[in-house]
């Protein structure tokens, strides 16, 4: 899974910090590549268009309206 890859990278960085060990330049370049990949994935998630008439949104408003009508 994607999240496992990022957690593994975080554990790897934390291991260096716990051992008070510097990250080698080649390893730092790999870390930068992983972070850039993460940023690209987050950008894709953030730019998903959400239409107010989509079924996911409409379902939420429909349930809210039903609860309000009962009161």
Q: What is the pLDDT of residue 3?
A: 83
Specify the number of domains making up the chain: 1
Confidence of residue 5 (pLDDT cuts 50, 70, 90): confident
Domain that holds residue 15: 2-70
CA atoms within 13 A on the CB side of 42: 8
Decide: 22 and 15 in contact? Cβ < 8 Å. no
Decide: 7 and 1 in contact? Cβ < 8 Å. no
Nearest Cα to Cα of residue 37 among 69, 5, 70, 71: 5
Q: Coil, helix or strand for 52? A: coil
Q: Taking the model in full, what pTM does it have? A: 0.59
> What would the pLDDT profile of 35-69 be if each residue is shown by its tens digit?
999 999 888 887 776 666 666 666 655 555 555 55
Tell how far CA 70 is from the center of its chain.
Answer: 37
């Amino acid at each position: 899974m994607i999240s496992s890859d990022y957690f593994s990278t975080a554990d790897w960085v934390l291991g260096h910090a716990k051992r008070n060990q510097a990250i080698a330049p080649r390893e730092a370049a790999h870390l930068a590549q992983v972070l850039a990949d993460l940023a690209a994935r987050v950008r894709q998630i953030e730019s998903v268009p959400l239409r107010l008439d989509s079924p996911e949104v409409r379902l939420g408003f429909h349930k809210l309206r039903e609860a309000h009508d009962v009161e």
